[in-house]
Each structure stands twice: as structure tokens, then as C-alpha cells.
Amino acid sequence: MKNVLIVGATSAIASATAQLLAARTDGLYLVARNREKLEAVAGDLSARGAGKVQICVMDALEYDRHPRIFAEAEAALGGLDTLLIAHGTLPNQERCQESFELTMREIEINLLGTISLLTHAANYFEQKRSGEIVVITSVAGERGRQSNYVYGAAKGGVSLFLQGLRNRLDKSGVNVLDIKPGFVDTPMTADFPNKGILWSQPHRIARHIIRAIDRRQDIAYVPWFWCFIMMAIRTIPERLFKKLKL
């Protein structure tokens, strides 16, 4: 039985993942901004048989609270094995282009807030010499494209940071897992029309995440077919890619 701290616990992917964890009676410490949503999620997980479920209302940008949440989670659950970072927003690319202020805020939420959490998490788990850090980034972080490069830059930055962390923490026995979903049908992507065959439901993504955690993978494309799609995308030469309307 593992104890899991989830930041962004009310997001669709995180709560679907937590539902699967609850079925294994893991202890869960849920962090998100909205109390009412947190209570709904916590009630669900308890009813599904989760060991202990505690909530904590916190914003990803409350940097001064970040160092403390690990100790708080450990105290509440009686131990802490896993951190899952699942918070984030989907920037409106066009509006970001017009406003650096908006871009800055999006980068703060999606990159800096995550880095702050990771900085403290790395020290916490390194000192314990065990545990795992799981972060949901995106395939969008692998190659900048005109339709969402603010999002891509943030997620790409996180992936690079995770790579360095993985290198640092390997000798301490701490696993660092980068989850890269493709298109997922969630409230965050509600405005996308015509979702086709490449789109997945959160519960499917959640199953893949659990499998990747159990297998102690380093990087996991979810679902797996994105691995091949991104391999193809990565091989396109820049002088050709820059002409595409992706």
C-alpha cells in the first residue's frame, strides 16, 4: 500500500488515476485550489475504499507552502511514497501572443510552479533514498509548433528538468517518471471541436499511468501509440516542419 501526494487532484486525469489508486486502497493526499471540488473527489475516493484520504487547498503558485506539503502529507498519511504532479492550464496561444503578461502567468503555472514543487520533492525523496516522482507533461513539449508553443515550451521545459532530476536521483533509488499524454478529452480541452480517433478518455490514460508507475518507467507516452507518432514528428527536418500548419 502506497501513500500518494497528488497536486492538481481535481483535474480529470489525476482524479481518474486516483480512482484506480483508491481501488488498491492507497493512502491519498489531495492538493488543489477549489475546496468544493476537492471534497467531491475525496468523497469518491473514500467510498471506493482508499486507505486514508486528506485534502489540502493550495494553489500551485503558493511557493512558500511548497516545502511544507511533503512533511504535511507524510504526517497525514503516515508515510509518503509517491508524488504526482497533475495541475496545469491550457494557454490560449493567440491571446498569449498578444500579451506577455498572460504568457508569463501561463509559464509560471505550468513550468515554474512545477519546478518549485520538484525542487523540494527531489530533496525530500533523495534524503529518504526511495520513492517516485511522477509528472504529467505532454507530447506538445517535444516540438514547438505554431498552434501551442507557449504550452509546448512550458511542458518541454518540465520534461528537460525531469531528465536532469532523473540523472541526479538515480543513485538514490528515486524513480522520476515523465508522463506524456497526447490528446485527452477533459474539461481543459473542452473547446476543441471534432475530437477524432486520436483522442482518449481520462480513465484510459489513468490505466496507462498506473501501469507506467508500477513498471517504474522513465518516460511513458500515453496511450503508447503516441511514441510512434512523436518519433515521426521528431524526424521531420526543421526547414520542412516550419512550413506546416500543425
Partner 1 sequence: MGYRYRSWGRYPPASQHIVSMSWRHEALPADRFPGLTLLPFGNGRSYGDVCLNDGGALIDVRPLNRLVAFDAVGGRITCEAGVLLSEILEIAVPRGWFLTVTPGTQFVTVGGAIANDVHGKNHHRAGSFGCHVYRFELLRSDGSRLICSATENQDWFRATVGGLGLTGLITWAEIQLKPIVTPFMEQEVIKFAGLDEFYTLSDESDGGFEYTVAWVDCLATGRHLGRGHFIRGNHSKVKPSRPGNDPKARLGIPVDIPFSVVNRLSLKLFNWIYFHRQMRRTRASTVHYAPFFYPLDSIPGWNRMYGPRGFVQYQCVIPHENGRAAIQEILTRISRAKMGSFLAVLKVFGDTPSPGLLSFSSPGVTLALDFPVATAGTLGLLNELDDITCSAGGKVYPAKDARMSAGHFERYFPNWRQLVAYMDPRFSSGFWRRVRPDSL
Positions touching partner 1 (CB under 8 A) are 12, 15, 23, 36-37, 40-41, 43-44, 47-49, 185, 187, 190, 194-196, 199
Q: 202: cis peptide before it, omega within 30°? A: no
Nearest-approach distance from CB 214 to partner 1, in angstroms: 19
CB of 17 to partner 1, least distance (A): 13
Q: In sequence order, which ranges of the chain are alpha helices (DSSP H)?
A: 12-23, 35-47, 66-77, 93-98, 100-107, 113-128, 149-169, 202-214, 225-235, 238-241
35 versus 242: smaller Cβ distance to partner 1: 35
Name which of 49 and 164 has its Cβ closer to partner 1. 49
Task: For partner 1, give the closer residue by CB, 66 or 87.
Answer: 87
* 204 neighbors 223 (Cβ within 8 angstroms): yes
**Shortest Å, Cβ 128 to partner 1:** 32
Radius of gyration of the CA atoms of the chain, in A:
18
Write the single-letter amino acid at 113.
Answer: G
Exposure b/e, 103-136, CB count within 10 A at least 16 = b:
beebbbbbbbbbebbbebbbebbbebeebbbbbb
Kindly tell me which of 42 and 118 has the beta carbon lying closer to partner 1. Answer: 42
